[in-house]
Structures are given as structure tokens and as C-alpha cells.
Amino acid sequence: MAVKLTRASVPEAWWFVLPMAVWVVYTLDHLFDSIKLKGKAMSARHQFHYINAKILTIAVLCFGMLTLAMSILYFQKQIILFSLALAGLVVVYFAAINILPDKWRMLIPKELVIAVVYVTGIWFVPLWLSTQPVSCHLIIILLLLTMLVWSEGAIASWFEYYDDVHDGNHSFATTLGLIRGKYIILIVLISVLIFLPGLSFLSHQPAIKYGAILLLAINLGLLAIVLFPRYFSRNSRYRMIGESLFFIPSLMVLF
């Protein structure tokens, strides 16, 4: 979606660097949590990362070095510098959530930080290499996408509330509680649901219209997870389906 909407010509290496970088950050997050809990985590996901910590750590180091090497070889200097700055932000984030006392850690909006880093990491290169001016409609798409990514993380924290309380993890749900947390998630998703059809209707750019429709599909999927928690709580469907929804923007290649 990012490449289609910006009409950017990105290096072929970007298609390999991007998923590797996302996987490295995702895996590091779970490795830190699982190692900190020393195998006592309630979450099956954290148990998996703890049991396989050695092989996953080696994989993270290998993919991390490969990502860095490919970035240096194929990307412009400005892109490399920005990527290093973003990586530095991720390091600071990991340090903060693993070193700071509880009273400070609970103030870190984990889900929002992840959403901003995720969207920024995906969109920066296409935006930088684009020769098209950034329209207000594109900015709205970026903001709405960030809200959807945040919503998925907040929904996961809602489902994992009791696990996080047991493990001593801080999240959106443990900070605000189950009832207030659910209301806020619904308000955000309904707000996005109101904006997207209007954006699709008002924009004269076909790519923006298609992009808005794809984000609408993500939005409806997340709403379904919130509205039918009993079904989606089985076998961690909320996480598997929630994360899978963000492959929907790749359908932009069809337009």
C-alpha cells in the first residue's frame, strides 16, 4: 500500500529488509518478556520464546546483521541514518520497559509506541523516495492506519489482561482496566469507521479510494474481534486473526 499510494520506486532490497526488520523487533520484544519472567509466563507465546530463546537469539542476530548490511549496500545515506535513529528509538523503548521501575513503566504507552514505530518503519522509505507531493488524504490514511495498528495491540492487551496481571506486565488494558479499555477501543474503531467511507467518497484519487476500502476491511475485522470476544478468545484467534488483518493492504498490488 505504501508504495502504491506514494508511487515510489523503492530498491528491491527493501522488500526483504522490511519484513526482516519487523520480525527482529517483534521477536526481541517477546524474548525480553519471556527471559525476564524466566519461563513462568502464563502466555503460551512467551513460553515458546523462552524454550527456544537460544535459537531465536541467534536468528535475531543473523537477520539483524543481514538487515543492516543490506541497508548499507542498497539504501541512500539519509535512509540509513533515519533507520538507525528509528532503531535507536526501539533500543530506548526496550531499555525503558525492562529497566525502569513499575511506576514509570506503566506510563509508557506501549501499544502506541509500537504502532508509531511500525507505521513509520513501513512508510518512511516510500515517502522519502516518492516524487509526488504528500496530500492531506494520504496523511489521513497514515493517521487512520496508526490508529488501527494501535487498536490491534490494545485489543490483544484486553484479551491478555489476566496473563499480564499474573506476569507483572504493563499494558493498555492493565492500566485502564477491562471496561474502560474496551470502551476506548470501541470509540477509536467506530471513529475510524466513520472517517474511512467519507475519505473514500471525497478523494478523487483511485489509489486513496482503494486504500480506504482496504483499511475499512481491517477496521471491520478488528470490530468483529471486539464484539465477539468469546469466539476469538479460543486458541488465541484474536491475535492470529488480528495480526493477519494487516496483510490486507498488500492487496493494493491488484489495483
pLDDT at 42: 67
pLDDT at 3: 87
pLDDT at 194: 92
Which has more pLDDT, 211 or 44? 211
Q: What is the mean pLDDT of residues 220-243?
A: 95
pLDDT at 131: 83
Q: What is the mean pLDDT of residues 225-253?
A: 93
Closest CA to 101 of 168, 166, 146: 168
pLDDT at 176: 92
Kindly tell me if the per-residue pLDDT of 41 is higher than 80: no
Closest CA to 218 of 160, 144, 159: 144
Q: How confident is the model at residue 221 (pLDDT cuts 50, 70, 90)?
A: very high
Q: How far is CA 12 from CA 41, 74, 78, 141, 158, in A?
A: 40, 9, 17, 24, 38
pLDDT at 134: 86
The reported pTM is 0.90
Instruction: Provide CB contacts within 8 A for 57, sequence distance 6+.
Output: 31
Tell me if residue 13 falls in helix, strand or coil. Answer: coil
All 3 cell numbers of residue 247?
496483510
DSSP letter for 19, please: H
Kindly tell me if the per-residue pLDDT of 189 is higher than 70: yes
Q: What is the mean pLDDT of residues 218-232?
A: 96
pLDDT at 177: 93
Whole-number Å distance between alpha carbons of 85 and 104: 23
Q: What is the mean pLDDT of residues 44-51?
A: 81
Cβ contact 115:143 at 8 Å? no
Instruction: Provide CB contacts within 8 A for 137, sequence distance 6+.
Output: 199, 202, 203, 205, 208
Share of residues in the chain with pLDDT > 90 (%): 49
Q: How confident is the model at residue 216 (pLDDT cuts 50, 70, 90)?
A: very high
pLDDT at 48: 83
Instruction: Provide CB contacts within 8 A for 35, sequence distance 6+.
Output: 50, 53
Which has more pLDDT, 44 or 209? 209
Scanning 38-177, the segments in alpha helix (DSSP H) are 44-51, 53-74, 77-99, 102-105, 110-129, 136-159, 161-167, 172-176
Share of residues in the chain with pLDDT > 70 (%): 97
pLDDT per residue as tens digits for the range 64-120: 999 999 999 999 888 899 988 988 888 888 888 777 777 777 778 889 999 999 999
Buried b (16+ CB within 10 A) or exposed e, 139-161: ebbbebbbbbbbbbbbbbbbbbb
Lowest mean pLDDT among 159-173, 176-190, 228-242: 159-173
pLDDT at 126: 92
Helices 237-244 & 136-159 angle (0-180, nearest 10): 170
What's the mean pLDDT when you consider all of the chain? 89
